[in-house]
Amino acid sequence: MEQKEEQQLEWLQQHQTKEPQLGLERVRRLLSLQGNPHLLVSVIHVAGTNGKGSTIAHLRQLLQAKKLRVGTFTSPSLLCYNEQIAINGVPISDEDFHSLLQTYQQVIENHFTDQLLQAITEFEIITALAYEYFFQNQVDVGIMEVGLGGLLDSTNVCQPDLTAITTIGLDHTAILGATLADIAEQKAGIIKQGVPLVTGKIASEPLAVIHNKAQQVQSPHVCYGQGYQVEPVQSSEEGEEFLFSNAYRLKEGYQSALLGVHQVENAGLALELCDQYCTLKGLSLLKKDEVRRALKQTCWPARLEKLSSEPLIVLDGAHNPHAMKALIASLESHFPDYQKNILFTCIQTKALEEMVTLLKTVAKSQLVLTVFEDSRSFSKEEMQDLAKREKLAYTEWIPYLKQYKSAKPEKNKLLLITGSLYFLAEVRKYLLND
């Protein structure tokens, strides 16, 4: 990497914040100085506690099957930083990334007296870059994933054609609120006047909050189980089979290539969004065979991802209790007879003890706690204290993985590595480069 590019990344890192800084005024100001590219892109805006990334992965494949040029903005990154901004699954090139970053750095530095711009965060800058990149490259549609909450998330400056809320669970409670209704209120902040909304499988209380908001702004609301139906059929090593029907389709069988019983809900939501978007834009709907091909081509790293067969190592980014419950159900479905070693850690904003309690319920399992090098991670001492209180093992993850991989593989035994997506990004890189 050239010195200039390294300096740009250092400048960007200076805008990182330990705690999220919510609000739209900073990113709005920055984008306004660039001609408001976010208002010149067709957007599908996706919020939710869990399932956003998997839903977007399915939706991208479906829209690409319509020969559309599809931009995606997702976070956090797992393979490389650039993957957060991609078109048709191809991450923004280093050249394009640094060119855009240089432009935006100059804009911010040229307005050094503007207090709003000087307080802008890394995530807000990357959000602006995504909108600019999609506009410059004339995508047909940009799918924007909310970073945190919805109402005050920097992605929420757009004027979308379609919005979606995947799930509602307890996460980031110190920021978004302590109840499901509080969190639903924040997620519902992406709903716009007259813009159709599609929701995933959501409990009745938070769903009522979302529906009330949709009614207030005359947003047509398509609900899981009412406007569209998804029925799981069976799980296999090839993925999850399910039946789907909606206002446009009779009940038909499909299969998601992603493992996990909850993936049928994500795939069903994505198919409903695709049908809604095609209808809005006057496009013909995908044929059954086109849908089936697209869903089978879907991939999304660190979601019940088999990273190694011998020994069997599975990665899953379950980083809150809602996601952990879905993971445990999927383990029971896919690996009921396996002896499971579970390596777990998370960051400080997460419900650590509740997730540990859930993981201790997994049958035939040994739970091991660890930490990783990140300012957001729990300290080694904190995790060791928890391990002692809960009568669990604590380990350093790199030596643990070295030892596990060097041992003779055993039949019906798996290592599950789960928790923070930031942790899994490091683990994934280590295992693939080993």
Q: What share of the chain is helix, strand, coil (3-state, %, to 5)?
A: 45, 20, 35
Sign of torsion over alpha carbons 23, 171, 144, 421: positive
What pLDDT is recorded for position 349? 79
Q: What is the DSSP letter of 113?
A: T
What pLDDT is recorded for position 19? 78
The superfamily in CATH containing domain 305-433 is Mur ligase, C-terminal domain (3.90.190.20)
Instruction: Summarize pLDDT for 100-137 with one digit per residue, the tens.
Output: 999 999 999 999 999 999 999 999 999 999 999 999 99
Rounded CA-CA distance 207/6 in Å is 46
Kindly report the CATH class assigned to 1-297. alpha beta
The pLDDT of residue 389 is above 70: yes
Is 305-433 the same fold as 1-297? no
Tokens for 82, please give them.
Answer: 């650039």
**CB of 65 closer than 8 Å to CB of 184:** no
**Domain-wise residue ranges, the chain:** 1-297, 305-433
Q: Tell me the Ramachandran region of residue 138: left when phi exceeds 0, alpha when psi lies from -120 to 50, beta otherwise.
A: left
Mean pLDDT along residues 204-214: 98
Assessment of whether the complete model's pTM goes beyond 0.85: yes
